[in-house]
Copies of this chain bind each other. A is one copy, B any other.
């Protein structure tokens, strides 16, 4: 009765994709080994053959989600923007666009995040991920501070990076639960109105 075999790596990916599909639809609470197996057209036993337990599967799924999520990086068009503050703003805009572009992925991310409160293995991974995200903002934040040292005398690059992350995650908190009523443009222009004026020659 067994079906055709497949390589270890291919099977794991197939199962992880199925797990992602289930979890992104039903949430982590609705993620069961049986559902994953059914979605992947495999037996339940095989899922647990490749991932020793459900916990291993969940952690592997988290790693999969974090790996396949676009990491923050400076694209050429953004890097070429002269004003550091405009560069930071352009990055924020791009990240906010991702919120509406792949809501299911972001929701799953936050589902894991909330599970991290009680699950140590998930927690450490989420801590590392958010750290990584904040660190990606730091060099740009540092450039913003360097451009206007007197105005940001008591501000650190770490703090500014944290605020940048806060902008995005805070936007996500509001938009993920209520996409229809959340106005991205309003949020953006309010953000620009707050910080945009600090750049001396910034054309907004």
Contact = CB atoms under 8 A, between A and B. Distances in A.
A29 to B, nearest CB: 6
Given A118-B27, A187-B166, A189-B155, A113 B177 contact: yes
A87 interface: no
Interface in A100-156: 107, 110-111, 113-118, 123, 126-127, 130-131, 134, 151-156
Interface string A175-196: 0111001110011011111110
Nearest to A113: B177
A8 B94 CA distance: 53
A174 interface: yes
Contacts of A51: none
A199 B169 CA distance: 26
Interface residues of A, number: 57
B170 A173 contact: yes
Copies in the complex: 2
A167 B191 CA distance: 11
A50 interface: no
A interface, over-half SS: helix
B117 A107 contact: yes
A190 B27 contact: no
A158 B187 CA distance: 8
A159 B189 contact: yes
Contacts of A182: 162
B159 A165 contact: no
5 contacts: A27-B117, A160-B194, A166-B187, A167-B167, A172-B173
Interface of A: 26-27, 29-30, 107, 110-111, 113-118, 123, 126-127, 130-131, 134, 151-156, 158-160, 162-163, 165-174, 176-178, 181-183, 186-187, 189-195, 197-198
